[in-house]
């Protein structure tokens, strides 16, 4: 994120709304005598508190809209993911930042259309059930590189390492990577590099072993590293 000396008036206004609602929430809580709340009267006793809580949660999206300077939910997800390359992301946070229930669909669109490489618990078991890991953002205009879609489909087809046979559930495997059998520097045809016949799934350990060997071979030929 671009570092700004000040977030601007929209953020100040949104923050002021959050503070007002937080104070209303505290007042509502103080007005309740917890010893008088029963199974029968809790809804009426806590009505003011629950209204205040709803209003406080409702203004959180406005706060994120000001932070990311984005009025659309998808735009706020895009900005947040850009800031989180190399980090895990909680789905609950994405839901609150976007303010939309279909945040998972927006994440898939970014993955399929805009080159966002995003792992889920299927390929990284350390993640929570609906959480994500923001791997990198690829330039979708560079046709010769592995596309996010081709990577995603390869991991669907072959969810275990093709050298050691381990999957993401095995100890020592931190993540699965999609590897080019023939490195794309060897291809004249940039489309062919994403063909399933040229892709294989490797675990992080086997991938590092293989990539290290590739890079030495590339340097000997005077080629660029992958
Ligand atoms: Zn392996």
Of the listed ranges 1-5, 138-142, 190-194, the least confidently predicted one is: 1-5
Same domain, 173 and 220: yes
Closest CA to 17 of 47, 60, 73: 60
Q: Is pLDDT at 63 greater than 60 in this prediction?
A: yes
CA of 206 to the centre of ligand 1 (A): 4
- What is the residue-averaged pLDDT of the chain? 83
pLDDT (average), residues 94-106: 93
The pLDDT of residue 124 is: 85
Mean pLDDT of 207-217: 59
**Residue 222: its pLDDT value, please?**
47
Give which of 185, 182, 175, 189 is closest to 210, Cα–Cα.
Answer: 182
202 touches 161 (CB < 8 A): yes
The average pLDDT across 180-205 equals 73
Indicate whether 117 and 184 sit together in one domain. Answer: no
Q: Which residues surround ligand 1, an ion (CB under 5 A)?
A: 161, 163-164, 203, 206
Instruction: Report the share of the chain in percent with pLDDT over 70.
Output: 82
Indicate the SS3 state at residue 72: coil
For ligand 1, the distance from its centroid to the CA atom of residue 30, given in whole angstroms, is 58
Mark out the alpha helices in the chain (DSSP H runs): 9-30, 42-45, 47-68, 73-83, 91-98, 103-113, 148-157, 204-221
Backbone phi and psi for residue 137, each to the nearest 5 degrees, phi listed first: -115, 120
User: pLDDT-based confidence at 87, cuts 50/70/90?
Assistant: very high
C-alpha 139 to ligand 1 mean position (Å): 27
**Cα distances (angstroms) measured from residue 129 to each of 32, 55, 178:** 36, 29, 22
Same domain, 190 and 152: yes
Cβ atoms within 10 Å, residue 116: 24
Query: Region 34-51: what's the mean pLDDT?
Result: 96
26 and 89 belong to one structural domain = no
**pLDDT for the residue numbered 130:** 84
Centre of ligand 1 from the C-alpha of residue 175, in Å = 10
Shared-domain flag, residues 150 and 212:
yes
Are 157 and 211 found together in one domain?
Answer: yes
Structure tokens at 93: 């946070």
Residue 66 has pLDDT above 50, yes or no: yes
| Residues 5-23 pLDDT 10s | 577 888 999 999 999 999 9
Separation of 212 CA from ligand 1 center, angstroms?
A: 14
pLDDT of residue 142: 54
Res 167 pLDDT > 80: yes
User: Beta partners for 119?
Assistant: 133
List all residues 6 or more positions away from 169 whose beta carbon is below 8 Å from its beta carbon: 125
β-bridge pairing 176-180 and 132-137 = unpaired
Let me know whether 6 and 80 are in one domain.
Answer: no
Centroid of ligand 1 to alpha carbon of 215 (angstroms): 18
Q: How many domains does the chain have?
A: 3
Residues 167 and 218 in one domain: yes
Say how far apart CA 126 and CA 120 lie, in whole Å.
9
In this structure, the answer to whether residues 104 and 77 fall within a common structural domain is yes
Name the domain boundary from 28, 47, 68.
Answer: 68
Domain extent, residue 85, equals 72-137
Is the pLDDT higher at 102 or at 140? 102
pLDDT band of residue 28 (cuts 50, 70, 90) is: very high
Rg, C-alpha atoms of the chain: 24
C-beta of residue 110 within 8 angstroms of C-beta of residue 90: no
Tell me, yes or no, whether 147 and 219 share the same domain.
yes
Examine the domain organization and report whether 166 and 186 are in the same domain: yes
125 shares a domain with 53: no
Mean pLDDT value across residues 173-187: 72
Q: How much is the pLDDT for 196? A: 87
The label of the residue with tokens 């997800």 reads: 77
CB of 35 closer than 8 Å to CB of 7? no
Would the pLDDT of 144 be above 90? no
Q: Which of 81, 114, 137 is the last residue of a domain?
A: 137
Answer with the one of 68, 86, 114 that is the final residue of a domain: 68
Going from the Cα of 91 to the center of ligand 1, the distance in angstroms, rounded, reads 29
């Amino acid at each position: 994120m671009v570092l700004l000396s000040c977030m601007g008036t929209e953020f100040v206004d949104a923050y002021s709304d959050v503070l007002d609602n937080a104070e209303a929430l505290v007042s509502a809580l103080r007005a309740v005598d917890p010893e008088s709340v029963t199974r029968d009267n809790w809804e009426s006793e806590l009505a003011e508190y629950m209204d205040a809580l709803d209003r406080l949660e409702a203004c959180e999206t406005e706060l994120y809209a000001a932070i990311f300077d984005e009025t659309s939910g998808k735009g706020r997800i895009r900005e947040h993911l850009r800031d989180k390359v190399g980090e895990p992301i909680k789905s609950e946070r994405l839901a609150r930042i976007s303010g939309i229930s279909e945040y998972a669909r927006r994440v898939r669109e970014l993955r399929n259309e805009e080159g966002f490489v995003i792992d889920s618990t299927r390929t990284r078991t350390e993640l929570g059930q609906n959480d994500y890991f923001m791997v990198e953002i690829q330039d979708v205009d560079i046709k010769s590189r592995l596309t996010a879609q081709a990577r995603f489909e390869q991991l669907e087809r072959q969810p275990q390492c093709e050298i050691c046979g381990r999957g993401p559930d095995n100890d020592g495997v931190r993540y699965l990577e999609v590897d080019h059998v023939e490195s794309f520097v060897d291809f004249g045809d940039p489309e062919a590099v994403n063909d399933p016949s040229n892709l294989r799934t490797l675990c992080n350990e086997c991938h590092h072993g293989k990539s290290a060997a590739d890079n030495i071979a590339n340097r000997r030929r005077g080629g660029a590293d992958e």
